[in-house]
Amino acid sequence: MRWLMVLVLVIIVGVILWKGVRAQMAAELLAERAKVSWTNVPKKVLAFYYAWYGNPQVSGRWVHWHDVDEAQKQIGSSTHYPLLGPYDSHDPKVVEQHCRWAKEAGIDGFIVSWWHPNDFHDRAMPLILDTAQKFGLEISAYFETVPTRTKEQALEYVMHLLNRYGKHPAWLKLNGKPVIFVYGRAIGEIGLDGWLWVIVEANRRYEGGAVFIGDRISKRAARIFDGVHTYNITGLTAGKSPEEIRAWAQKVFPDWVSVAGNDRIACLTIIPGYDDSKLPDRKPPRPITERHNGETYKVLWEAAIAANPDWVLITSWNEWHEGSEIEPSVEHGDRELKTTAEYARKFKQLPPRQSPKRVGLIPESERKRLQEKLGKVPIAVLPSSDSEAVWWLIGMGAKVTVLDWEQVVDQQRFNPQNFPIVLYGGGESYRTTVREQNDVLKSLQRYVRDGGFLVVMPSMPMPFHYDETKPPPTAVHHAPQLWLPLTVAWERPPEGLKLKFIVRNKSLLPHVPDQFAFPESSDLRWRPLVPEKALPETKVLPLIELLDESGRSHGLGAAIVQVGAGKVLYVWFRLLDIDVGEAILHDLWDFVLSQTCAAKG
């Protein structure tokens, strides 16, 4: 029995150690991606392309076309009828016509749906590449799926694409690096953490590296991938009139560009329409976006040009099943190609997207001094942290250790002696319980009471709001129990209200302007700290306050809460990514470090 107990103990210790190693490996991978910076990206117009069609004349069978009636010009699995008829994607004449049309319409290349090595789609790729080269077009792959749901298979498939096609003259490249687009399904199959590993490993194995554009509009995805996009917007445009679509796109497109940030590739996707109602496996009601006689496509083009992304993506060239094609059809002729030619020319006349001017730039000498301090003080980062603060710390060379939740509830591991500072950079959900009810919450409370400094710089509006222990997430609103009296003020500011932030402690924020405007776009959910609601045993030090033009306060956007020997710093999430964000991060982390024994020593 003794040997069995020893074995169990060894296994338990091994699992704990492995989790710690795994968390730190993730931090190192994130540090690798933090080095990536894409600026002055040339404008491109790319269309999603499907090489999955076959007919008896070329492939010996129908592939993807069903219930074909060529006399009546009807296809059971297609909303519209191709002008070329039910063609075969392996037919050189078809591919040549596609490339000729695309070139004439000002399209720079195709993003070709790709599923497995050596399958029907993969076997079409050499023909597409060679033909595209003749017309001066560029080709990329749309990585559709990871069948085994393992990061190892994802890497195997990626390396197949890079090694087999990456050096072809027609493959889409950026600074000499081949580009691969990754569909949302494939992201979901191994998760963002899985793709983080795949991307770093692929860049290590493939000489010169590669570029990955992920189908997910989020800050975390933008940090892991080289750029972000979405495949289809019909879920947001279905049932709308052209003017409603215009209003929606004018509001959303700039936000999506801002999510990519200043150092990633920003893509916007437009559609001519969408109608997959002829597919029998898709039950009504369907998210149908009407073409409105071509107006849908035009208003989306105009909104995309106004938002000025790096690349405009068109869904699609030939997804006939979903009725999103711009390829000429019997029903619409070449109307969408003419529209593409008109607007692609206007888009590509725009200069490359520029990074916005940063406010309150830090002198290099002060920046280096802070870097030296950050390299000396151990900082713990709580799980799932992906806010701007995390990436800023990594970029500054901070001594960061990413913890898992099991480590957070281990008092021997997680305490102010080991980590004088802990950062919460997550969203609105966190894990409240590992072994006993709310043991994570209690561990964080103990940490602060014992003299630790909890820095709350979240990636979403309301930190510690949901419990992710058991799906679906349950609202717990634990911020007040961590001495942060946060409140829900608004989802968007009241119409006509003029707002500005005022710095209330200039000694702690010397590089931040005395006042600056409330952001006008993207996520504007305001969750201020309200000092009047603070617990009696705490003391609130205001840092940044939001006022309207009458001088009325709308709460604090940044504040320090003193809790006995410990402290909690709160910063509203949007303060980290607007133009003053770098100055705020620099000044507040300089203060936080000054409060630790290690920094003083």
Q: Is residue 289 part of a domain?
A: yes
Percent of the chain as helix, strand, coil, to the nearest 5: 35, 20, 45
Q: Look up residue 530 and give its two tokens.
A: 């309200």
User: From CA 324, how far away is CA 315, in angstroms rounded?
Assistant: 6
In a domain, 22, yes or no: no
Q: Which tokens in the block code for residue 498?
A: 């003029």
| C-beta separation of 274 from 324 below 8 A | yes
In terms of domains, do 263 and 371 share one?
A: no
Same domain, 256 and 174: yes
Asked whether residue 333 is assigned to any structural domain, the reply reads yes
Examine the fold and report which residue of 318, 346, 374 is the final residue of a domain before the chain moves on.
Answer: 346
Phi, psi of 407 (to 5 degrees): -70, -35
What CATH number does the domain containing 378 carry?
3.40.50.880
Q: Is residue 11 part of a domain?
A: no
Cα distances (angstroms) measured from residue 217 to each of 187, 252, 283: 12, 11, 27
Question: Which residue, chain included where needed, has tokens 């091994």?
Answer: 14
- Residue spans of the chain under pLDDT 50: 6-22, 598-601
Are the CB atoms for 414 and 403 separated by under 8 Å?
A: yes
* Judgement on whether residues 135 and 255 belong to the same structural domain of the protein: yes
533-541 contacts, C-beta under 8 A, 24 or more apart: 533/480, 533/485, 533/487, 534/483, 534/485, 534/561, 535/480, 535/483, 535/485, 537/563, 537/564, 538/483, 538/562, 538/563, 541/505
- Sign of the alpha-carbon dihedral angle for 520, 526, 528, 533: positive
Distances, alpha carbon 170 to alpha carbons 136, 138, 310, 577, in Å? 7, 5, 20, 37
pLDDT value at position 55? Answer: 97
pLDDT in the model for residue 14: 47
Helical H segments across 261-294, by residue range: none
- Assess if residue 4 is contained within a domain: no
CA 547 to each of CA 89, 209, 275, 494, 556: distance values in angstroms, whole numbers, following the listed order: 61, 48, 47, 13, 9
Contact 482, 448 (CB under 8 A): yes
b/e burial code for range 143-178 (CB count within 10 A of at least 16 → b): bbbbeeeebebbbebbbbbbeebbebebbbbbeebb
For the four alpha carbons of 383, 384, 386 and 387, in that order, the dihedral sign comes to negative
Q: Rounded CA gap, 520 and 575, in Å?
A: 12
Q: Mean pLDDT over all residues of the chain?
A: 92
Residue 354 domain-assigned? no
Q: Which two tokens stand for residue 523?
A: 């996520």
C-alpha to C-alpha distance for 403 and 422, rounded to whole angstroms: 10
For residue 424, the cross-strand partners are 456
| Per-residue pLDDT, 11 | 46
Cβ neighbors of 599 (< 8 A, separation 6 or more) are 373, 376, 377, 593
Closest CA to 397 of 367, 424, 418: 367
HEC string of 188-241? HHHHHHHHHHHHHHHHHHCCCCCEEEEECCCHHHHHHCCEEECCCCHHHHCCCC
Distance CA 407, CA 17 (A): 10
CB 414 within 8 A of CB 383: no
Task: Work out whether the CA dihedral 153, 157, 158, 162 comes out positive or negative.
Answer: positive
Element (H, E) at 517: strand 515-517
Residues 282 and 406 in one domain: no
Same domain, residue pair 285 and 374? no
Residue whose tokens read 């150690």: 17
199 falls within a domain: yes
Same-domain check for residues 263 and 154: yes
Claim to verify: residue 325 and residue 381 sit in the same structural domain: no
Smallest CA-to-CA distance from 323 within 267, 279, 269 is with 279
Residue 16 within any structural domain of the chain: no
Cβ neighbors of 434 (< 8 A, separation 6 or more) are: 405, 406, 408, 409, 440
Q: Name the nearest CA neighbour of 183 among 116, 233, 230.
A: 230
- Together in a domain, 370 and 253: no
Determine the structural domain holding residue 56 and report its residue range. 44-346
Domain count within the chain: 2
| DSSP states of 133-184 | HHHT-EEEEEE---TT--HHHHHHHHHHHHHHHTTSTTB-EETTEEEEEE-H
Which residue, 297, 322, 346, sits at the end of a domain? Answer: 346
Q: What is the dihedral of CA 280, 286, 290, 296, to 10 degrees?
A: -120
Q: Whole-angstrom Cα distance, residue 390 to residue 423? A: 8
Is 485 in the same domain as 582? yes
Write the CATH number for 221. Answer: 3.20.20.80
Domain termination residue (choose one: 286, 314, 346): 346
Whether 166 contacts 210, CB under 8 Å: yes
pLDDT of residue 33: 87
User: Is residue 342 domain-shared with residue 366, that is, in the same domain?
Assistant: no
**Do residue 465 and residue 595 come from a single domain?**
yes
- The reported pLDDT for the residue numbered 471 is 81
Asked if 108 and 175 sit in the same domain, the reply is yes
Contact criterion met (CB below 8 Å) for 110 and 80: no
Residue 543 CA to residue 569 CA, distance in Å, equals 10
AA identity, residue 351: P
What is the Cα–Cα distance from 110 to 45, expressed in whole angstroms? 9
Instruction: Provide the token pair at 555.
Output: 């709460």
Kindly state the tokens that stand for 592: 């936080």
Nearest by Cα to 128 from 143, 114, 145, 144: 114
